[in-house]
Amino acid sequence: MDRIILRDVVDGSYSTLDGTTLYKILKPYFEKNESVELSMMGFTPMSTSFFNVSFGDLKREYGIEKYNYILKFIFITKFQVDMIKKYFIMKTKEKKRPIILTDEISKVTGEFKCVDCDNEELNGWSSHCRTCGMPIVY
């Protein structure tokens, strides 16, 4: 099994550029269905943008089962484990479908409709549906 030392392959963990670099390094392992160890030793805390384009994209693209089979974290601190868990818990709880405008007229009238619960009593000042909590995307 190959081992990748994270601090040796990316400059940091705060940008999408670093996350994309890691994604490109890990993707061949997912394509070959080959496990790989990822050493987190000495690596700094990671930003959401780093997570989104590295671990998040791999999980979305290949599914959680394959993600867990392929990627083996080693030399990882409790803090890093907690960050990764919190990221995936947060992403799992997010609903996939945003609130959408009911039609082109809505853009003018400001009337919105939630695609999950059909609540039509939304206004342009809300960030979430008051009925089901779905984020509003304008």
Query: Stretch 122-130: mean pLDDT, rounded?
Result: 53
Contacts for 88 with CB less than 8 Å, ≥ 6 apart: 59
pLDDT tens digits, residue range 52-86?
888 888 988 898 889 889 999 888 888 888 887 77
Q: Are residues 21 and 80 in the same domain?
A: yes
Q: Does the predicted TM-score (pTM) go above 0.85?
A: no
No. of H helices and E strands in the chain? 7, 5
Number of domains in the chain: 2
Q: Is the pLDDT of residue 123 over 70?
A: no
**Chain center to CA of 61:** 11
Q: Are residues 82 and 120 in the same domain?
A: no
Q: Are residues 9 and 36 in the same domain?
A: yes
Q: Are residues 123 and 135 in the same domain?
A: yes
pLDDT tens digits, residue range 14-52?
888 898 999 999 999 999 999 999 998 888 778 888 888
Domain span including residue 126: 95-138
Q: What b-and-e string marks burial along 55-75, b requiring 16 or more CB atoms within 10 Å of the CB? A: bbbbbeebeeeebeebbeeee
